[in-house]
Amino acid sequence: MTRYALALALMLLAAVTAQAQDYVYDDLAASPAVDSLQAVARRNAAVAGSWHYAGPAVELAGRNVVSSLGKPIVKGKVKRSLKKIYRKLHLSGKQAALRLDAQGNYALWVRGMGDVARGRYVYSPAQGLLTLYWHRLPVTCHVKAGKRLGLTVETDHMLRLLQLASSIVHNRHLADLAALARNYDHVNLGVELKR
């Protein structure tokens, strides 16, 4: 069950990255053709390490003043809903880790299964993006790096699918997440990680 849930989560992340991957390619096109290993290591220093699940991450951009005023309440409600969904997927700090090295390699480790995904990554601190290449498929995340690492993906397309799914299965948590599409221009959902 966990293996299928993880595969589904990775496929969903890959499906929603088409709009964000252009930013990374533009950033790479502006940089020298070949970065020195030292330059790559310096750029990746902020995200390099072994990161474990700390909680859900939510970023919202509202359409109007009312959306902006209600943002803290909505973020809290969405985080609680995501936490319940992540718990059902058995996502916790001890169950999985994202390992990023300074040379641009990553591995996603899951307890009992070992490395379930590995490959290269590109970190673009100027744009706040991290792209993981999984079987040549780019999975682009918005990044907030610091003591904790926030990884979120743009979910506009996924939220439209959740609206349809919640109307069919009548799941309260799905309905809460799907309601975001009606009230916010940009909704980024993901995870917050700690070392």
Q: How confident is the model at residue 33 (pLDDT cuts 50, 70, 90)?
A: very low
Q: Could you tell me if 121 and 127 are in contact, meaning their C-beta atoms sit under 8 angstroms apart?
A: no
In a domain, residue 116? The reply is: no
User: Average of pLDDT values for 8-13?
Assistant: 47
**Single pTM value for the model:** 0.72
Q: Which two tokens mark 181?
A: 């599409």
Number of domains in the chain: 1
pLDDT, position 151: 94
Q: What angle do CA 42, 143, 140 make, to 5 degrees?
A: 100
Domain containing residue 150: 2-47+55-93+122-194
- Tens digits of per-residue pLDDT, 68-80? 677 888 889 889 9
Rounded to whole angstroms, the Cα distance separating 133 from 14 reads: 10
Neighbours of 127 (CB within 10 A): 15
Classified as helix, coil or strand, 59 is strand
In a domain, residue 187? The reply is: yes
Neighbours of 98 (CB within 10 A): 22
In a domain, residue 10? The reply is: yes
In a domain, residue 16? The reply is: yes
In a domain, residue 109? The reply is: no
Rounded to whole angstroms, the Cα distance separating 189 from 195 reads: 20
In a domain, residue 108? The reply is: no
- Tens digits of per-residue pLDDT, 105-156? 999 998 888 888 999 999 999 999 999 998 888 989 999 999 999 999 888 7
Beta bridge partners, 141, equal 130
Whole-number percent of the chain with pLDDT over 90: 33
